[in-house]
Amino acid sequence: MQSQLDEHGIGTSNFLIKGAMMRYSVFVPKLYNFCKSVGFTAGKMLPSRAFCSDESQGFPIILITKHFGCFPFNHGMVGGIVATDRHGPHADHGKDLLIIQASHVGYDADDKRFGVYRRLQTDSNSLSSNCGKIDSVLEWYLSEYRFARENIFIRQERGQFFVTIDNQFLDESRKEGLFLRVDRLTSATHLVEVLSTSKQFVASAELVAQLSNEEANSENNVAILNHLTASFFYYKREIEGGIEGHGHLENNLLDVMPVIVTSNAPLLTAAMFNTRAEFDRSYRSIIKNRRYLGKKVLLISGINIDISPQPGQVFPLTKFVPWAAYIQSDDGSGVTYEQKELLEVLSQQSAENADQIDLENAISEMVEANEVLVEAG
């Protein structure tokens, strides 16, 4: 898969990041007012979140509780996967129903790096991967890619360019691994030379066009490195677990892994692709689920960007990047908002919410309420 790259080198085609982010303290009241604008009833909305289990997702949950007046139902599995088997209980627990799905990615402002997050509860406030589930899924693919980029070489001899490929990547009998698109990497599949652990071919014009002047004029073997772009390879992988199982997130990403591992921010890119896959799947599960018939339902998907807290901050400065939304009316009709349409409609909503609750007062009232005796047996 070859996609257009944005300023971060992220191949995600039309998924906007720059100019699309909004602080959760702004996003949630705007979302609440959006719900009201499409006919949701104040006090009868049941929000649900499909977030990862990471503690960095707590602040968004607190804000959802504050603005919607109830703790959100839990639709989420690790990695931001939607548990569609929870649709029925969700539908039963409220009149007007909201699902917020979001994969998440950390961001450290000190070094402007995606994919890490400062953990305040560790001994040394250390940085670690975020989302950890996505990071663990990518580890094998990144390792395969690193080996490939360091073991495929380009050489120029009297104006003719050759590419030397490690034999591992020419073994089509493998069940899993990184596989080259040899027809794109070479100009002809016939061998030029057989070496002890590799074979040499004439390099394709597509590959040669990527070389710098220094590389093109060198007569030494030059590792392909960043010239091994997403169009030159794909992956095969035997993934255990089916839909909403252990390997669900990995299955969402397998076909686009070349774009992910060659991007400048793999965890962000993976979160974007996972969000796209989960919105599409969740949308279809909603329109096919009889428990949602006769109900107003709003599904909105995006990315939570967890900005590492600075000294003295208790929570991250989480930002939301909307991707798409689907609204189903109680008569069964529905409409989908693409990202630009969704950003426009959210921008028109007020960031003030007169219906929001005072969490401290609400907690105090419950603490001071008369004791209720529970009679057992």
What is the arithmetic mean of pLDDT over 137-142? Answer: 97
Please state, rounded to an integer, the average pLDDT across all residues of the chain: 92
pLDDT at 216: 81
* In the chain, domain spans: 22-130+264-368, 151-228
The answer, yes or no, to whether residue 6 has pLDDT greater than 90, is no
pLDDT at 311: 78
The answer, yes or no, to whether residue 9 has pLDDT greater than 50, is no
- Residue matched to tokens 């949701």: 40
Q: Which residue did the predictor score with more confidence, 286 or 313?
A: 286
- Residue matched to tokens 């600075």: 310
For the chain, give the percent of residues with pLDDT over 70.
96
What is the arithmetic mean of pLDDT over 249-260? Answer: 96
Q: Which residue did the predictor score with more confidence, 215 or 348?
A: 348
The answer, yes or no, to whether residue 73 has pLDDT greater than 50, is yes
* Per-residue pLDDT band at 10 (split at 50, 70, 90): very low
pLDDT at 309: 87
Strand runs (DSSP E) across 1-142, as ranges?
A: 22-23, 45-50, 73-74, 76-77, 81-82, 96-108, 113-114, 116-118, 127-129
* Per-residue pLDDT band at 12 (split at 50, 70, 90): low
Q: Of 76-85, 216-225, 277-286, which gets the smallest average pLDDT?
A: 216-225
Q: Kindly report, residue by residue over 231-251, the tens digit of the pLDDT.
A: 999 999 999 887 889 899 999
pLDDT at 16: 93
pLDDT at 8: 42
pLDDT at 234: 97
What is the arithmetic mean of pLDDT over 69-85? Answer: 96
* Per-residue pLDDT band at 291 (split at 50, 70, 90): very high
Q: Kindly report, residue by residue over 165-181, the tens digit of the pLDDT.
A: 999 999 999 999 999 99
Please give the Cα distance from 151 to 147 (Å, whole number).
6
b/e per residue 213-250 (b: at least 16 CB within 10 A): eebeeeeeebebeebbbbbbbbbebebeeeeeeebbbb
The answer, yes or no, to whether residue 104 has pLDDT greater than 60, is yes
Please give the Cα distance from 57 to 55 (Å, whole number).
5
Task: Give the residue among 127, 172, 131, 153 at the shortest CA–CA distance from 267.
Answer: 131
- From residue 82, give the alpha-carbon distance in Å to each of 21, 48, 85, 274: 22, 10, 9, 11
pLDDT at 189: 67
The answer, yes or no, to whether residue 4 has pLDDT greater than 90, is no
**Structure tokens given for 268:** 């962000």
pLDDT at 1: 30
For the chain, give the percent of residues with pLDDT over 90.
79
Instruction: Output the pTM of the full model.
Output: 0.91
Please give the Cα distance from 286 to 148 (Å, whole number).
42
* Per-residue pLDDT band at 112 (split at 50, 70, 90): very high
* Per-residue pLDDT band at 13 (split at 50, 70, 90): low
**Structure tokens given for 335:** 């409409």
